[in-house]
Structure 1
Amino acid sequence: MNKVMSNKLMIALYTLPALLLIGVLIYIPLILTGYYGLMDWDGIGDMTFIGLENYIAAIQDAKFWESAGHSFLLAVFSTLSLVIYLAISLILASKIKGADLLRKIYLVPMLLSSVAIAQLWIKIYNPANGILNSLLGWFGIDNPPAWLGDPSVVLYAIFIPILWQYAGFYILIYYAALKNIPDSLIEAAKIDGASAFEIAYKIKLPLIMGVVKVTIVLAIVGSLKYFDLIYVMTGGGPSGASEVMASYMYKLAFASYDFGYGSAIGFLLLIITLIVTVLIRKLTADKDELQY
């Protein structure tokens, strides 16, 4: 093993397949996206170089910034929902009866495709015979909103299935981190008279803070580039009320056949995501990480 690790040629040969895959699947498409953003192109015919016109137009595009605002609002909701996921994980990790069954139930949404989830929630939100409006009718609410047709509520209505879809993913991450905490620490705290809340807040939470920071980055970055469920449920409507950056880019590139402008939007989405990721990492950076 030492001979292999000291042989630079062997190291290069072992890493070459992975580097090729990364280059072909990630870096080359990113470079091409930035390049196409410099072109006036419908995706089929000849390309015409127009410089930074697409990028300047995107920066001045009110619809782009409106969709960006929706994406950031989703990021805020996703980050706040982590508190709920963490609380559920703390309950599941406290050895309550039926915790294993509950953990499996929370994972069910992860097994479904986004299209299936979208179709399920379209039925739930159906204004005529959807289960949600039926339940509201039992409580005396006779005129509930058209959840996917009202511009003032559609964005929040879509957020609910998105957060439900990824609940199991984050709960599983937190649960695994919590189960990795030595039982001796918890038992020592109980002997010292610490309550369940104090154990959770002063012992468990600080010990898994590194994992919490990672999930914050995942939630925000994932929200900024989210696309599929929103596009299936509303297509960004009504009147762009649920448009996000990724769906706006898709419409421009593949529906309006303005591939150059759509590529510019996509490249700006990449830049915004990178900037936000760097800012989050700096804001959550901690010189002294707790070890156990």
Structure 2
Amino acid sequence: MDKVMSNKGIIALYVLPALLLVLALIYMPIVLTGYYGLMKWDGVSPMTFIGLENYKNLIQDELFWNSVKHSFLLAVFSTLSLGLYLLVALVLSGQIRGANTFRKIYLIPMLLSSVAIAQLWLKIFHPTNGVLNHTLSALGFENTPAWLADPSIVLYAIFIPVLWQYAGFYILIYYAALKNVPTSLVEAARIDGAGPWRIAFSIRVPLIMEVIKVTIVLAVVGSLKYFDLIYVMTGGGPNGASEVMASYMYRKAFSGYDFGYASAIGFFLLLICLVVTWLIRKATATKDNIQYS
């Protein structure tokens, strides 16, 4: 076996299929997206090379920058929600009754499709027959809002199902990381007189900091390219009040039949995600990583 693995030709042969798949499914579409962004193309007629015209128009597009703002706002809310998910995971990883049941309940949204979740929350947010407005009316509120029709609140209303959809995913990641923290460290701290909160935030959380950094990247990048649930629930409306970058790109391509401009948006979105990921990694970088065995 050592003789085979020392042969560079054999190693290249093993790596080649995976490399070809990565090139075909990841890097080639990226290159083609950047290429199409240089074209004027409706998806049917022959493409016309226009250089950087699409990118110049993109920089001057106010609707696009509004969608960028909405995407970053979702990223901020997603990052802040990680704190709540971590608290839930801390509670579940402790010695509480019913932890396994609660963990399974939190995973339910992950098992549903985005379309099913969108239909569920459309019923909840319905202005006349929705559960939410019925509850508010029962509590004495007379002027209940039209959650998905009011431009001033639609964006915040739609963030609720988006964050709810992925709550179980992040709770499960934190729960698994916390369960891997050595019990000997926790027991030693408990013998020294440390309380539950001191143990949680002085021992358990610092030991899973690398996992937390990864979830921050996942939450931010996932929010910047989020599309499906928002598109099903509002289509980016009303009047672009809930438009995000991915839904704006989709609308330009399949409603405006401007695939060149949509490709420019997609390539710009990729660059934003790469830059944001790099900034997060730089901001959260530490010289010494806490390790345990």
Which residue of structure 2 aligns with residue 126 of structure 1?
126
Unaligned runs of 5+ in 1: none
Q: 2 CA distance for matches of 1:3 and 1:163?
A: 52
Query: How does the TM-score come out when normalised to structure 2?
Result: 0.99
1:79-90 to structure 2, matched below 5 A, reads 79-90=79-90
- The offset of 1:288, in angstroms, is 0.3
SS in structure 2 of the partner of residue 107 of structure 1:
helix
* Distance in 2, Cα, partners of 1:157 & 1:4: 59
SS in structure 2 of the partner of residue 150 of structure 1: coil
Partner Cα distance (1:95, 1:11) in 2: 48
Percent identity at matched positions?
Answer: 72
For the aligned residue pairs, the C-alpha RMSD in angstroms reads 0.6
State the 1:20 CA deviation: 1.2
Aligned to 1:7: 7
Corresponding position of 1:224: 224
CA shift digits 1:235-276 (9 cap, x unpaired): 000000000000000000111100001100110010111100
CA displacement at 1:172 relative to structure 2: 0.3
- Structure 1 position 200, deviation (Å): 0.4
Give me the whole-angstrom Cα distance separating, in 2, the residues matched to 1:122 and 1:238: 15
Work out the CA distance in 2 between the residues paired with 1:291 and 1:77: 30
Query: What is the match of residue 100 of structure 2?
Result: 100
- 1:25 aligns with 25
Query: SS of the counterpart of 2:166?
Result: helix
Report the counterpart of residue 140 of structure 1 in structure 2: 140
Separation in 2, partners of 1:113, 1:238: 24
Does residue 198 of structure 2 align to residue 198 of structure 1?
Answer: yes
Match of 2:35 in 1: 35
Give the letter for the 2:254 counterpart.
F
* Residue 110 of structure 2: aligned partner: 110
Matches of 1:251 and 1:244, distance apart in 2: 11
SS at match of 1:132: helix
Could you tell me which residue of structure 1 aligns to residue 276 of structure 2? 276
Structure 2 unaligned regions, length at least 5: none
Structure 1: which amino acid aligns with 2:156? Y
Task: Give a deviation string over 1:219-240, Cα, whole Å, max 9, x none.
Answer: 0000000000000000000000
Please give the residue correspondences for 1:120-199 in structure 2 after superposition, counting only pairs within 5 Å: 120-199=120-199
| Aligned-pair CA distance for 1:2 | 1.6
Which whole-Å CA distance do the structure 2 matches of 1:237 and 1:276 have between them? 26
Counterpart of 1:171, as a letter, is I
1:176 aligns to what SS in structure 2?
A: helix
Q: Deviations over 1:120-178 (max 9, x none)?
A: 00000001110000111111012111000000000001100000000000000000000
Moved more, 136-145 or 85-94: 136-145
CA distance in 1: counterparts of 2:133 and 2:147, whole angstroms? 9
CA distance in 2, matches of 1:4, 1:284: 41
- After superposition, residues 204-243 of structure 1 pair within 5 angstroms as 204-243=204-243
Alpha-carbon separation, structure 1, partners of 2:231 and 2:4: 49
Give every structure 1 segment of 4 or more consecutive aligned residues whose post-TM-superposition deviation is greater than 2 Å. none
Rounded to whole Å, the distance in 1 between the matches of 2:108 and 2:182 is 29
The separation in 1 between residues aligned to 2:91 and 2:3, in whole angstroms, is 49
Distance of 2:285 and 2:147 partners within structure 1: 40
* Distance in 2 (alpha carbons) for counterparts of 1:247 and 1:165: 18
Q: How many residues align?
A: 292
C-alpha deviation, 1:5, in angstroms:
2.1
Tell me how far 1:24 sits from its aligned partner. 1.0
